[in-house]
Structure 1
Amino acid sequence: MEFQFRPARDTELSPVARLSSHAREVGLRGLLAQGIWRRGVRLYLRLFHRLEVSGREHLPAAPPFVLIANHSSHLDALTLAAMLRGTSARRAFALAAGDTFFTSVRASAFAAWAVNALPVWRKRTSAKDLNGLRERLEEDKLVFILFPEGTRSRNGEMGRFLPGIGALVAGGAVPVVPCFLEGAFDCWPATRSWPRPGKLRLRIGPPLEFSGVGNDKAGWLEVGRRCEAAVRGLRG
């Protein structure tokens, strides 16, 4: 195998700018911090939410791939990230709302170092930003965790999927793995500041592929529709 040296994508950024940059790389300290965080989250999910996961056999053996799910709670991203193992766990980035998780240096530091989140700004994420995320996903062989509804459900019902997921995967070879998380709304709805104990069930479905879908507006809409149907099909 030929070794190829490549400088880190975030080399030129200041420490503060790196926190909320799509070019941020984890580094050794980040890997250690996130490893400790994942172990703590797994223990918490096992003790307080008796997490039950089915369909692990559908997860690709190695990145890149995208995990999508319904979105009703802050527990969603924590659960999807915590159930990953090995290389997939170390290369997983959650795409999180910038106006919620990256509003200050302290919040950005927590989102970056613990959750390993990358910001998606609801009102100002550009085509260039999406193209950059797509490039990182494919070239760096990452796992993206995202929720195509765009926001948490306020009543526990799953909303319509937005077409942004299509801009990341349409016309490419990266598989999309649909998931459905049951119980998260009851445990930690948007109206509560802290979670309460309760049962969580995560169902993982067969991966979807969109290599034959055009990377254009029509293709993005098709990707959104197919992803939504797959996630809805996993409901109990």
Structure 2
Amino acid sequence: MTEGDTPPGARFDLRPARDHGLTPAQRLRSQVREAGLGTLALNGAWRVLTRGYLAAAHRLAVAGRENLPAEPPFVLVANHASHLDALALSSVLRGECARRAFALAAGDHFFTTTGGAAFAAYAVGALPVWRRRTSRRDLETLRARLLEDRLVLILFPEGTRSRDGAMARFQPGLGALIAGTKAPVVPCWIEGAHAAWPATARMPRPRPLRLAIGAPLSFADVPNGRTGWESVTQAAEEAVRALAPSRERGEGPAT
């Protein structure tokens, strides 16, 4: 189509890539890193391997898959006791949702070396969050990317892996990311990950994993301020806890 053939009122919203101008080393550790064709191919191969591994070694069982939104943007949140958690959540995504998914990972753990950062960025599809120096600007960047780039973000609001398998209180960063947006939050509960690969173990063990996916939560009408952030965080935490077996909620033995 030539310029003269452009339909009246047609609009082209062209912009450079968010990571344009960054060096390869900077791009690895950047929250604005975009996925190219090579990255998508590598990440797709990683997802196939991950699904096979989770099925063979951990017999991953999924309940509530129908609660996943059909298209992005949305956020998956869950309890966090193991490195297997992000793998389990990303493994249930398909199509466009899988291709647009990024797991938020601790920069001070996964992005300290070039090799580790490259694997986290290009195979796993992780974006770094620097736990001791995450700024309001970092959260605003992630919020803009979630909405404008139509992403699926995988995050664990506890902030770190549980050392005993019990879920800790959620941190308010989730609220700052999502309050007042139309992107739903999908609560999930991962059972068995602590037994399979606790934070104290170097390698995973063949133990069963179960993933429960709850109904999406909407926070479009919640004000984007401190009170709203706390409201989002509390509601998401309660929704995740509600998916846990009764013994995890202190209600006695599971039936």
TM-score bucket of the superposed structures, by smaller chain = over 0.9
Partner of 1:188: 197
Out of 91, 103, 117, the residue aligned to residue 108 of structure 1 is: 117
Q: Deviations over 1:148-172 (max 9, x none)?
A: 0000000010110111000110011
Q: Distance in 2 between matches of 1:127 and 1:3?
A: 31
- The 5 A counterparts of 1:76-155 are 76-155=85-164
Partner of 1:228: 237
Q: Distance in 1 between matches of 2:151 and 2:11?
A: 21
1:28 aligns with 2:37: yes
The amino acid across from 1:69 in the alignment is A
Tell me by how many angstroms 1:2 deviates.
5.0
Normalising by structure 2, report the TM-score: 0.91
Normalising by structure 1, report the TM-score: 0.98
Q: Distance in 2 between matches of 1:5 and 1:170?
A: 28
Which residues of structure 2 form unaligned runs of 5+?
1-9, 246-255
Q: Distance in 2 between matches of 1:6 and 1:204?
A: 36
The amino acid across from 2:200 in the alignment is T
The runs of 4+ residues in structure 1 deviating greater than 6 Å are none
Aligned positions, number? 236
Q: Distance in 2 between matches of 1:115 and 1:218?
A: 34
Q: Distance in 1 between matches of 2:173 and 2:222?
A: 14
What's the C-alpha RMSD, in Å, of the aligned pairs?
0.9
Partner of 1:56: 65
- Residue identity over aligned pairs, in percent, reads 61
Tell me by how many angstroms 1:4 deviates.
3.4
The amino acid across from 2:57 in the alignment is F
Q: Distance in 2 between matches of 1:4 and 1:13?
A: 22
The amino acid across from 1:165 in the alignment is L
Out of 28, 44, 67, the residue aligned to residue 19 of structure 1 is: 28
- The 5 A counterparts of 1:154-233 are 154-233=163-242
The amino acid across from 1:173 in the alignment is K
Tell me by how many angstroms 1:5 deviates.
2.9
Tell me by how many angstroms 1:189 deviates.
0.2
Q: Distance in 1 between matches of 2:137 and 2:242?
A: 33
Tell me by how many angstroms 1:114 deviates.
0.9
The amino acid across from 1:213 in the alignment is V
Q: Secondary structure at the match of 2:89?
A: helix
Q: Distance in 2 between matches of 1:3 and 1:180?
A: 41
Tell me by how many angstroms 1:177 deviates.
0.2
Q: Distance in 2 between matches of 1:186 and 1:97?
A: 22
Work out which of the two has the higher radius of gyration on C-alpha atoms and give 1 or 2.
Answer: 2
